[in-house]
Amino acid sequence: MRALRAWVRAAGNRAIVGRALITAVVVGTLLTAINQGDALLGGRLEPDMAWRIGLTFVVPFFVSLVSSVQTIRGETAGGYDPAARG
């Protein structure tokens, strides 16, 4: 339970959330343009597209958030050694 609280605390870090938001906006916009761009430019916005477009932004947000938290937790737990790369 303590580990979960620490993880949630790290996930709430302002810098991590900010980075995840930037990632979500950039990646989500690119993926929306790739996947839904023709329909959006053609004015064919269908109701079922809303949840797909929403997920296109939510998924990169959570991937970035989880990745950042796991990296930080690995570094602080001694599980990450940048000198050991190679």
Query: What is the distance between the alpha carbons of residues 32 and 30, in angstroms, rounded to a whole number?
Result: 5
Q: In sequence order, which ranges of 1-86 are alpha helices (DSSP H)?
A: 2-11, 14-41, 49-76
- The string of pLDDT tens digits covering residues 7-37 is 999 999 999 999 999 999 999 999 999 999 9
Q: How far is residue 64's CA from residue 52's CA, in Å, rounded to a whole number?
A: 19
Placement of tokens 């809303």 in the chain: 50
Strands (E), 1-86: none
How large a percentage of the chain has pLDDT more than 90? 60
